[in-house]
Amino acid sequence: MWVRTASKRDIPAISQLLGQVWHDTYDTIYGIEKVNAITAQWHSISALERNLKQPASEFLVADDGNTIAGTAFASQIEPATAKLHQLYVLPQFRGKGVGKLLLEEIEDSFFEAQNLVLEVEALNGPAIRFYQQHGFIQTGNTANCGADGSGSAALVFTKKR
C-alpha cells in the first residue's frame, strides 16, 4: 500500500469509495436518505474535482495497485492551522494501517502548521478512538459539520504540533 496525490483519473473511484464508506458508517446514524443526499452533494465528481484545484491543500489516496483503499483531503485554513476535511478507509482495509499512512502524509504535507483540526460525528466511536490514538484531543464542537448550514453536530478535535 502506498499513499500518493490524487489525480483526476482517481475521482470516480474516490466518489464510489466515499459513498460506500458513508453508507457503512452513517446509515444507522443519519438514515439512508440523508446519507444519499450528503454523498450526492459532498462526494460528487464535481465536488471532488474542486478539491484537486483548491490552493494550499493536499488530496491523497492510499492505493495497492488494484484498489484505492482510502482517501484524505486537508487544506490550510489559517497560517498556523490545517484542517483535515476527509479521511476515509474502505471497511475491508480498516485496521491495516491505511488510515495511519494517510494521516501521516497529511501531517507531513502541512509541516509548518502548528495545529491540525478536524470534525467528527459524536456517534462515530471508531473514528474518535483513531484520532485520539494519534494525538488529537477534543477542543470543541460544531452544529454544522462539514459545511455551513449542514445541521449535523460534530466534535472538533485538534492535534497541536
| CATH code of the domain containing 61 | 3.40.630.30
Cell of 89: 478507509
**Would residue 54 count as lying in a domain?**
yes
Q: Is the per-residue pLDDT at 35 higher than 90? A: yes
What's the whole-number mean pLDDT along residues 76-97?
97
**Would residue 50 count as lying in a domain?**
yes
Q: How many domains, in total, are found in the chain?
A: 1
**Would residue 11 count as lying in a domain?**
yes
Q: Is the per-residue pLDDT at 148 higher than 80? A: no
Q: Is the per-residue pLDDT at 50 higher than 90? A: yes
**Would residue 8 count as lying in a domain?**
yes
What's the whole-number mean pLDDT along residues 6-32?
96
Of 81, 96, 154, 82, which Cα lies nearest the Cα of 130? Answer: 96
User: Does this model's pTM top 0.75?
Assistant: yes
Contact 29, 124 (CB under 8 A): yes
**Per-residue pLDDT band at 147 (split at 50, 70, 90):** low
Contact 19, 56 (CB under 8 A): no
**Would residue 154 count as lying in a domain?**
no
**Would residue 147 count as lying in a domain?**
no
DSSP assignment string, 38-70 = HHHHHSSHHHHHHHHH-SSEEEEEEE-SS-EEE
- Report the distance separating Cα 22 and Cα 18, nearest Å: 6
Compute how many other C-beta atoms are within 10 angstroms of the C-beta atom of residue 69.
23
Domain that holds residue 76: 2-114
Lowest mean pLDDT among 19-28, 78-87, 111-120, 143-152: 143-152
Cell of 102: 494517510
pLDDT of residue 150: 65
pLDDT of residue 28: 94
Residues 6+ apart with CB under 8 A from 1: 62, 63, 64, 69, 93, 96, 97, 98, 101
**Would residue 146 count as lying in a domain?**
no
Phi, psi angle pair for 111, to nearest 5°: -60, -25
Burial zone of 9 (CB within 10 Å; 0-12 exposed, 13-18 middle, 19+ buried): exposed
Which own/partner contact pairs does 52-55 have at CB distance under 8 Å and 24+ positions apart?
52/6, 52/7, 52/8, 52/11
